[in-house]
Every structure is written in C-alpha cells, then in structure tokens.
Chain A
C-alpha cells in the first residue's frame, strides 16, 4: 500500500460513530469519503472500549450496544461506498499547490482531498505503557507493546502481562514459537474469552506455559538488554522472573498524537471550531465529535451527528465551488433516494 496516492472529496480521520455518520451526511450531498483509523476495525471507542455496553441516549434507539450502533451506522453509510484505511495513523497534513490537502498515514498511504474532517474522538488509540522506572531503555528491544511479526519472538524467553484477550491470545499463539512463555496476571480470574483461558490452563498443566499470579514491580537488565522482570505478590513478596522479552498488554489509551502538529488552533488539547460549519482555524479542515471544542459543547454522540450534518453543507462548497446546494429531504427527494440506492 505504500506510496499509493488516492484522490477523493473528503478524508475523514477517525472511523468512530461520528466519522461514520459524516460519511452519510457527505454522501447525501453526493460527496465521497475515505476514512483513516488506527484501529483495525471501524467504530472507535464504541468498538474498542464498550462494544457490549448499552447506550441509552441515541435518538429513536431506546437502547443500543456500542457494537450494534456501529453496525447500524455502517449499514447507513453503505450506499455511499466509503473506503476504509484501517490500522494506520494519520501522520502528516500538507496543503498542495492545487488548493487541496494531502494526508499521509504512517504506512505511507497518501490521500488527497479538498476537505479534511477530523473526527478523531479522544485521539489515537495506542497501547498503555506501564509506568515502570526505566522501561523506555528496553522499548523496541526487550519490551514490546504489540506483536507485528511473530518471528520477532522465535526462541525468546517471554513474560506476557495482562488478563485480557490480547494477553491470552498472544500467550497461546507465541507459545509454539518462543523458547518459554510466562503469563503474569494480578488475579486467578481473567477478562479474556473463557475458551482462551481454558487453553492456557491446559498448556500450563502440560508444562508448556507458566502462569503466575503477580504484578510487575520492575525490570532487570543493562544496556537495553532485558534479563528479567521483577514480580510481586502479597504472599510471596518480590522475586525476579528471568526473561529477555516483556509483552505488557494493559489495553489502550488515547493520545492526540500527530494531529496536535497539524497547525490547528487547540484549546486544552481539543480543536476549536465555529458552530455554523464546525470548521477549524484552517479553512477546509473540519473537526466534529469529541475532539472539537466550542462554547456549550457536550461530548455526546448525538452532538457529533449534528456537527457532521452542518460540516457537510460547507464541505459541499469546497468540493463544488460553482454549484448551488439545494436543501432536500430524504422523504421526498428522488435525487437523495437514488444516492441512498432506494429509488
């Protein structure tokens, strides 16, 4: 995918609920959108943080789970054929001589469009890095927060920390590759899928995986070379578990990341916008949803939906400077119904 350049009407940064609804609102006006998201699936926080939690304040849906809301928004956006670029981070934004913007992702994908819509919620989801003194010295060598290539861990002595699906899945998947795997979790119970937990216990009984109930207390090593992880448990005190690699899986956190360097006016790490068009301090760049800030802002999904609708009106003028935008209703307009693929 590297080095590819795609041209479209609008590039949406963030495929959460508001980014998805922006596809719909832009689509009704005949505008095409591409979306970039660091997660490997659409849905943003709804998909990553609370897929199973009920949401009660979406108009006309008395109760809906995060996952179902995403599914419904995907369905609503479907007629407009959005293109998703997942698992990559919007990294660089530059103005081109032709008046359009060029967004480059960390995978080298280039997206060119007259309109950029920042719908990045709380920022990019990145792995939580445990506050262990000196951990930076081992990052990339002995400490990894994600598994990109399993081969990296061939023949290694691993300590995997955490009790969720990532910790359990990688324990199971890396066990045949690694020289040894020790799973460290603070309690005997897990949040991870019960099936993975049973498989892990079976491997532990067969002596192929070591499971330790403990928490990480520190790291041992020198010169960027990890030699062990210091563990602690209430009854056992502290001890060192020898290893050359630590994989901490404590879930994700959100960071504004490269967006902070896009040259947009910020207020307390949020992007300031006007409330007519939800445009930022830079023309043709909009910010909608949790990432924006204006007087009276409420961080609700429904606020983001409203913002998406008004953003699209102005976006139309940037894409078609010479065209008049006629306001139409989906109930009566055959043009809109054709775009929705229902007529």
Chain B
C-alpha cells in the first residue's frame, strides 16, 4: 500500500505504509521536511498537508482538536489536514497529499 506525497519542491514520492501507521509516520520515514515536532499528539501543526480533493471524503473526520490546532498552521485550505491525525487503512491505498509550506 502506498501514499503519493508531493514535496515542497514539487517532487513526487511513493511511500509504502502499513495499516495502523499514521500519515505523519509515513511522511517522516523519509526526510521530506515534515517536522512533526510534537511527535503526533496534535499539539504543534508542523505536520500540515493538503489532501488531493478526490481523497477528502475518504479520510476520517476532523476532530475539534485538529481544527483548533490548524490555527497554528499557515496557508490553511479546505483540504488542509494534520497528518498525525490520519490513521492509514486499506481504503487509503493510493492517497495523494502535498506537504504544506514550512515555517522560516
């Protein structure tokens, strides 16, 4: 099972995942510049990604916590998600995401 991630320079990466990984864990296995500073407890907004429109509906719903934490992200769009809050399942095989801009 794979995730297709677009990095900040536009490069495409096919990343394999197992059921039970969080999307953040999948993205941080390679150095694609995802900081994920809080380690995945929805407390820092540095694992911000954009989900390809076709996949939005297939993802687990956003918690209040995640919506609130996105306040500390920049360039937030309707398809913005914190990748640590997305638990990977078979249904997400082929998921396409773009890594959001980094902080200076």
Q: A170 interface residue, CB < 8 Å from B?
A: no
Tell me the smallest distance from the CB of A284 to a CB of chain B, in Å: 30
Q: A130 interface residue, CB < 8 Å from B?
A: yes
Mask, A174-188, CB within 8 Å of B = 1, is: 000000000001110
Binds B, one of A30-38, A246-254, A326-334: A246-254
16 contacts between A and B (CB under 8 A): A49-B38, A50-B41, A53-B41, A53-B43, A122-B37, A128-B72, A128-B74, A129-B104, A136-B104, A185-B71, A186-B70, A189-B68, A191-B71, A215-B74, A216-B74, A250-B72
Q: Is B39 a contact partner of A299 (Cβ separation < 8 A)? A: yes
Tell me the smallest distance from the CB of A51 to a CB of chain B, in Å: 9
Beyond A131-B104, A251-B45, A253-B35, 9 extra complex contacts between A and B, CB < 8 Å: A131-B101, A131-B102, A135-B104, A164-B72, A215-B76, A216-B74, A250-B74, A251-B44, A253-B37
Q: Is A129 a contact partner of B37 (Cβ separation < 8 A)? A: no
Tell me the smallest distance from the CB of A293 to a CB of chain B, in Å: 15
Q: Is B44 a contact partner of A191 (Cβ separation < 8 A)? A: no
B contact residues, range: 20 to 34
What CA separation (Å) do A250 and B38 show in the bound complex? 15
Query: Which of B41, B46, B69, B74 contacts A130 (CB under 8 A)?
Result: B74
Q: A42 interface residue, CB < 8 Å from B?
A: no
Contacts A185-B71, A250-B74, A254-B37; A50 near B43 (Cβ below 8 A): yes
CB neighbours (8 Å) of A124 from chain B are none
Q: B57 interface residue, CB < 8 Å from A?
A: no
Q: Is B103 a contact partner of A49 (Cβ separation < 8 A)? A: no
- Give chain B interface residues in 57-104, CB to chain A under 8 Å: 67-76, 101-104
Number of residue pairs A-B, CB distance < 8 angstroms = 65
- Give chain B interface residues in 28-65, CB to chain A under 8 Å: 35, 37-39, 41, 43-46
Most A Cβ at <10 Å: residue of B35, B44, B101 = B44
Mostly helix, strand, loop or mixed at chain B's interface? Answer: loop
Contacts A191-B68, A250-B72; A131 near B103 (Cβ below 8 A): yes
A contact residues, range: 20 to 34
Q: Is B72 a contact partner of A251 (Cβ separation < 8 A)? A: yes
Tell me the smallest distance from the CB of B71 to a CB of chain A, in Å: 4
Query: Which of B68, B72, B75, B102 contacts A215 (CB under 8 A)?
Result: B75
Contacts A50-B41, A50-B43, A253-B35; A128 near B68 (Cβ below 8 A): no
Q: Is B41 a contact partner of A253 (Cβ separation < 8 A)? A: no
Q: A17 interface residue, CB < 8 Å from B?
A: no
Q: A104 interface residue, CB < 8 Å from B?
A: no
Most A Cβ at <10 Å: residue of B46, B70, B74 = B74
Tell me the smallest distance from the CB of A132 to a CB of chain B, in Å: 8
CB neighbours (8 Å) of A130 from chain B are 74, 103-104
CB neighbours (8 Å) of A27 from chain B are none
CB neighbours (8 Å) of B101 from chain A are 131
Q: Is A49 a contact partner of B43 (Cβ separation < 8 A)? A: yes
Q: Top 7 nearest A-B pairs by Cβ distance?
A: A251-B72, A129-B104, A163-B71, A49-B43, A50-B43, A131-B101, A128-B103
What CA separation (Å) do A135 and B103 show in the bound complex? 12
CB neighbours (8 Å) of A185 from chain B are 71
CB neighbours (8 Å) of A254 from chain B are 37
CB neighbours (8 Å) of B45 from chain A are 250-251
Please name the residue on chain A nearest to B44 by beta carbon. A49
